[in-house]
Each structure stands twice: as C-alpha cells, then as structure tokens.
Amino acid sequence: MYKIMLVDDEDEVREGITATVDFAACGFTLCAQATGAIDAIEKAAQFQPDVVFTDVHMPYMDGMEMISRLQEMYPTMKYIVLSGYDDFIYVKQALQRQVLDYLLKPLSAQGIMKVLRRAKEQLDEQDRQRVNLEILRDKVAKNAQQLRRGVVLEYLSGSFGGDAHALCAYPQPVDERIAFPMYLAVLSLERTEENLEVLRRDFDSQPMLLGASVEEVLSEVFKRRQGEFIQYRSQFLLLLPASQEEAIAACDDAIQSLRHYLHLTATAGLSDEIGSYSALSEGYQNAMAALDKRLIAGQGQVYTPSSSPESRRKDLELDAWLTRAAALCRSGKKEEIAAFCGELAQHVADAEMDASERQLLLLQVLSAVLAAAGRSGVDVAPAFPGLHMEWVLQPADITAGVEQLGTLMQFVSDAVRREVATSGSELIAQAVAYTQSNYADKDLSLESLCALFQISQTQFSLLFKREMGTSFLQYLLDQRIAAAQKLLRETSMKIYQIAEETGFGDASYFSYCFKQRCGLSPKEYRMQGGA
C-alpha cells in the first residue's frame, strides 16, 4: 500500500475524513496527520509519505508554498490539493506543480475515495514505468558489459579481428565503455594447502561454486571502487581505470576481502599503464611477469613491474627466454631444444645473478613449458611422475635442472607433432561440419567448440588455420554473414529476426559486422537486391 499524510488546520475536517474514508480500500494507509504546513514538513521527513493530502488555506504558510518546499526536498512525493470553488488561482498553481489531483469543497467520502483510487492508478503506472526503466537499464548495462568483456578477452587471446574502437562504440552508456589509460591486474588464487583445505571444507571441491563466491566478493569490492573484473581461465582480471596508487589499493582491497570473507590467499600482479586496446595482451603479459615475483618474494601481496631501465632490460630478456621455450614446445626439433638449454645454462652461469634470481628465472621457464603443454592438451604427469619445482631450486645443480627442462620440452614437442600429424585434418573436418550445421547457435564460440572436441584452443586454432587458411572466428563469421545474405535476398524477415536466426543475437552488432564485411548495411543490401 501507498502511504498518505493528511494536512488540514481544522480538527473537524481531519476527523471527518478519517472517520468516513476507507483509505485501505483505496490502496492507501494513513501514516500521519498534520495540523499545518510547518507540522507537515516535519512529519514528511519522519514518515516519508508517497502522497500528501492537503488543504490550501492554512495559517503561517499556505498549501501551495508548503508543496513547493516539499518538492525541493522530496522530488518524488505526490500531492492531492483541497480548495474551494472560488480559488481558481490555486487551481492554476496546483496544475503548475503537477499535483495528482485537485479536489473541490464541500467534500464527500465517496468523492475523496474516487480521487484516491484515481491517484493510486497514477502511482501504479509510475511504478510500472520505473520498474520497466530499471529493467531496460539493467539490460543495456549487461549487454554493454558483456560486449566490453568480450572485446577484452578476444584481445587477450589474440583472436580479435575487427576494429575494437568501432565495436565499443556500439550503442551503450558512455560510462560503460572501456576507459583508457587503465591498469590490468591478474588476481590468482594460490594452490596452497590452506586454500585447498578451504575448497574441500567450504565448497565441497566444486570449482564453479568457488568461482561464484569469488565473483560475489569482487562485486562488493567494485561497488566501492572504480573498475571491474573478468574471469579469465583460472584467474580473475581486474580492469582499473585509475592511477597506479589507486590500482594497487584496489588490488589490495580484493586480496584482503578474499582473505576475510572466504579465508583464501590470493596474489595480484599489476601491469604498467595500458593506453589502448591493442596493448591489452602486452599488459596481461606484463601483469603475469609481476605476478611471478611471488615465487620468491611470497604470496598474498600486490606486485608491480619494476620501472628502472635495468629492470626493463632484464624483463625483455626474460620475455625472450619464455617465448622461445613456449615456441620450442610447440614445434621444436631435438637439436634446437638442446641448443636452447645450452644457452640457458650458460646464461645462468655467466650472468650476475644471486641464488634467488637464478631460481626465479628457471622457475619461470619451467612455468612457461608447463603452460605450453597445457595449452596444447599434453598431459605431462604420467611421463614425469616426479615432476617438482625442486628441479630448478638447487643452485648448486643448475646443469641438472636445465637438462630436466630439456627432457620435458622434448616430450611436449614430440606429443604435439604426433597429435597434429595423426588427427588434425579429421578433427578440423568434423569441426567445419559442426559449424556449418550450428552457426545459428549464438553460444557457438571457439571456447565451446574446443570443449566439445576436447582440444586446447591454441592447438585447435593452429590446426584450423593450417587446414582452412583462416581463423575459426573468421570462418564462423563468414558462415553467419552468408546465411544472413541469403535471408535478406530471399525472405521478408525483419533485420532483428535475421540477426537471431543467424546466431548474432543482437541486431545492432549484426548490422555492424555485416557492414564491416559487405560495405553495406543489411537494409541497403536488401534494397539493392543483394548486389
């Protein structure tokens, strides 16, 4: 029910109205009575009525002035005005103040209830409009957020083939677009005994439940801070459009909140400032390099890249080692891997490093090798049951540690070549057939297809490019555009219907992709007969 306050300086009038009018039957509850304008202003603050039912003629302050003051303080409050037949000036003022209704004296209970029911209908309609507007805003925000996150993830995976600036100009609130410059942080839950125990105890070893709980905590963090988060693989990426100091504070807030609410230890690596979409992938690698510092310096902290020229030179050298190691795991020959390991052992021996720096370098190379194996779908555990970080943690036995790394790299490389040689062509043929039959499924993506065929996204993308001469995402887009062209030529379906039918889902995004590919909007294409 709506709350209503009755304002009249005459006791008899108020008593008569309350005795004869069934407020509840009209959808109202009488929350307060006021003896005048000043009393009404005080009680409005206390009771917060939805509607004020007020006389015009009152001492000290008339009803119109009271309404003006209340409107300044409570813009959503509504009013029903009581006055006499000869007070046209007040009628004019009431209309100017957009009151719900104007009731002329003498009053009758039936007349008042009729006005109240009409007022309730107006309030109900306003509520419906407000709810619909909120739903619309939520949908717009959700779509904008999904689009924005999709752009970020595609850039990180190296699969984005369009113009990010144009795509993010897709209709959405300005404050929902990605803001540059920004910082990107990688937030990683540590695989400690304590964290594993929390998972077993509180989440029944359910990663999805754990992920939802982490998202809830991060949502609370970003209610009080700028930025947002995206789940990426087994990590959370924090997008932080602020200064470096504010970005560090946001990361620390996230770490402390996870520790407080979920009893989990997390560590964050923060990138250098990112100035454009194309720099997102580099920013991610930058943040991952900062995160690696936890291997030596400890967990549960925020790590940033070093800004000194010497440190940057070392970072570039490290990137070169990690890139080479990952590439050799994918396609390296025996002699190339042996040469790499020889160079690495010599570098570790000759470089001016202390024990911790040598350990960190070899740990990072080992991590790059294991990551490359995972991306290629190679399970190293059965062949290396004794795989431990201790391989590279003994500074006195650097040569043995590097030899172990070489053996592991050769195993991964051989497994990748066997997989490519034996099953690549057949798998891609199956994937193409599936795509041709299911391109209309808006949930079809590189991720979902790789999950279906149980292959890593990286390995699949390499195979698809080799067999088809194009990327999977480009091929999927071609299929959808071709289907849309046929429907535009041969049917009278509306544009939004074609967008749904061909897997685009959203008509605006469909129109953007179609014009990018065909040089014409869907409407122009149809008008020209598909020429």
Sign of CA dihedral 336, 337, 340, 346: negative
Is 34 a residue whose pLDDT tops 90? Answer: yes
What does the pLDDT read at residue 50?
92
DSSP string, 345-414: HHHHHHS---HHHHHHHHHHHHHHHHHHHHHTT---TTT-TT--GGGG--GGGHHHHHHHHHHHHHHHHH
Is 134 a residue whose pLDDT tops 50? Answer: yes
Beta bridge partners of 7: 34, 54
Find the length of the chain: 531
What does the pLDDT read at residue 421?
61
What does the pLDDT read at residue 52?
93
Of the candidates 246, 241, 99, the residue with the CA atom closest to the CA atom of residue 184: 241
Of the candidates 447, 458, 161, the residue with the CA atom closest to the CA atom of residue 327: 458
Q: What is the mean pLDDT of the chain?
A: 80
More confident residue, 75 or 278: 75
What does the pLDDT read at residue 39?
93
Is 304 a residue whose pLDDT tops 80? Answer: yes
- What pTM did the predictor assign? 0.39
Residue with token string 């600036």: 165
Mean pLDDT value across residues 402-419: 81
Phi, psi of 4 (to 5 degrees): -130, 140
Mean pLDDT value across residues 286-301: 81
- How many Å apart are CA 345 and CA 51, to the nearest integer? 81
What domains can be seen in the chain, in order of their start residue?
2-129 (3.40.50.2300), 179-305 (3.30.70.270), 310-420 (no CATH), 422-527 (1.10.10.60)
**Spatial CB neighbours of 457, under 8 Å, sequence gap ≥ 6:** 157, 375, 446, 447, 450
Whether the CB-CB separation of 473 and 161 falls below 8 Å is answered with yes
With DSSP H G I counted as helix, E B as strand and the rest as coil, what are the percentages for the chain, rounded to 5?
65, 10, 25
Mean pLDDT value across residues 498-509: 86
What does the pLDDT read at residue 145?
57
Structure tokens at 271: 């990138």
Is 51 a residue whose pLDDT tops 80? Answer: yes
Is 219 a residue whose pLDDT tops 80? Answer: yes
- Taking the alpha carbons at both ends of the chain, their separation in whole angstroms is 61
The pairing of strands 235-240 and 183-189 is antiparallel
- Residue 82 confidence class, pLDDT cut points 50, 70, 90: confident
What does the pLDDT read at residue 419?
64
Element (H, E) at 12: helix 11-20
247, with CB counted inside 10 A (0-12, 13-18, 19+), is buried
Is 277 a residue whose pLDDT tops 90? Answer: no
- Residue 168 confidence class, pLDDT cut points 50, 70, 90: very low
Q: H/E/C letters for each residue in 62-112? A: CHHHHHHHHHHHCCCCEEEEEECCCCHHHHHHHHHCCCCEEEECCCCHHHH
- How many Å apart are CA 56 and CA 82, to the nearest integer? 6
Cα dist from 203 to 157, 187, 199, 497, whole Å: 30, 20, 5, 42
- Residue 98 confidence class, pLDDT cut points 50, 70, 90: low
Cα dist from 125 to 100, 101, 118, 132, 481, whole Å: 12, 15, 11, 10, 42
Structure tokens at 411: 């195993």
Whether the CB-CB separation of 56 and 81 falls below 8 Å is answered with yes
**Spatial CB neighbours of 461, under 8 Å, sequence gap ≥ 6:** 159, 446, 471, 472
What does the pLDDT read at residue 22?
93
Whether the CB-CB separation of 177 and 168 falls below 8 Å is answered with yes
Structure tokens at 233: 């693989």
Is 176 a residue whose pLDDT tops 50? Answer: no
Whether the CB-CB separation of 227 and 240 falls below 8 Å is answered with yes
Element (H, E) at 36: none
Q: Which of 160-174, 327-341, 428-442 has the lowest mean pLDDT?
A: 160-174
Sign of CA dihedral 333, 334, 339, 340: positive
Residue with token string 């046209």: 88
Is 164 a residue whose pLDDT tops 70? Answer: no
User: If you average pLDDT over each of 372-381, 459-468, 473-482, which comes out highest?
Assistant: 473-482
Residue 133 CA from chain centroid, whole number: 21
Residue 466 one-letter amino acid? R
Mean pLDDT value across residues 367-373: 81
Residue 109 one-letter amino acid? A
- How many Å apart are CA 112 and CA 110, to the nearest integer? 6
**Rg of the chain taking only CA atoms, in angstroms:** 34
Mean pLDDT value across residues 167-182: 50
Beta bridge partners of 55: 82
For the chain, percent of residues with pLDDT exceeding 70: 79
Helix (H, G, I), strand (E, B) or coil at 308: coil
Of the candidates 333, 484, 483, the residue with the CA atom closest to the CA atom of residue 410: 333
